Structure 1
């Protein structure tokens, strides 16, 4: 049996990969400021995308994933995907507050300001959808296996 934290970490890996796949075209087509660049700028290393990617991966897998696993039963919606969206948008609000309080005032320049903020919100919503879906599938799979292991009938 996996703990909720372990399930959250696995779901965090899947969600981080999904958001990273969305971010790759943005890097090459330069639609908005890349999320990894925003992170690197916020910690005082503008232009260092490797540090941004590392922090992005670490926070998705080791912070947001396990935190979602712990908070999922207490989130206020019915479906796992909407629970994920609520959680991820909450994380977006915290991130935006941190950027505005701790980051450089030029983090969102006039050329990319609102578009970048909107892009970050959309990618966080996608992160939440994938996070909630994968987490729910892991929970369902474990319940099915436990019923089978105990000699009970699986739910259909």
Structure 2
């Protein structure tokens, strides 16, 4: 299997793990206003299914392929550490580009500091899973 296919599969698995954490967050009633799926769906003018489809495409393709492309440039020892750092880079892009486009301000400040902190933790876990699965598929 080539490295890009491994990256996409790893991104898909990491996105599934992230999705389960997001689902659990919602069921526990933690920050219900931080609903990335609803935000994506709203920007695309579609139903929640459109948001979920975009979420999985971003995670599997954008993050999966992006991780492969940047892998050798990322500092760190091992794929899990590189993945966690890659997750932090993705979080920064989300906080500086995506959240302002969604009307939440930089670092989602309209929702308070907890939104930035929560999304950072989720991105680090996502990245670590991405790196772990990528390495296991080698």
CA distance in 1, matches of 2:62, 2:22: 20
> 2:89 maps to which residue?
90
Instruction: Please state whether the residue corresponding to 2:14 is helix, strand or coil.
Output: helix
> How many Å apart are 1:49 and its aligned residue?
3.1
Gaps (5+ residues) in structure 1? 140-156
| Contact kept in structure 1, 2:99 and 2:105, CA below 8 Å | no
> 1:55 maps to which residue?
54
The answer on 1:35 being equivalent to 2:36 is: yes
CA distance 1:38–1:114, shift in 2 (3 Å): farther
Provide the alpha-carbon RMSD of the alignment.
Answer: 2.3
> 1:19 maps to which residue?
18
> How many Å apart are 1:100 and its aligned residue?
4.5
Query: Which piece of structure 1 moves more, 116-125 or 6-15?
Result: 116-125
> How many Å apart are 1:44 and its aligned residue?
6.5
> 2:66 maps to which residue?
67
Q: Deviations over 1:115-134 (max 9, x none)?
A: 22211111111100100001
> How many Å apart are 1:34 and its aligned residue?
2.3
Gaps (5+ residues) in structure 2? none
How many residue pairs are counted as aligned between the two chains? 135
* TM-score in terms of structure 1 length: 0.75
Q: Deviations over 1:33-66 (max 9, x none)?
A: 122234345x265x95333222111100111111
Work out which of the two has the higher radius of gyration on C-alpha atoms and give 1 or 2: 1
Question: Normalized per residue, which structure has more helix?
Answer: 2
CA distance 1:114–1:40, shift in 2 (3 Å): farther
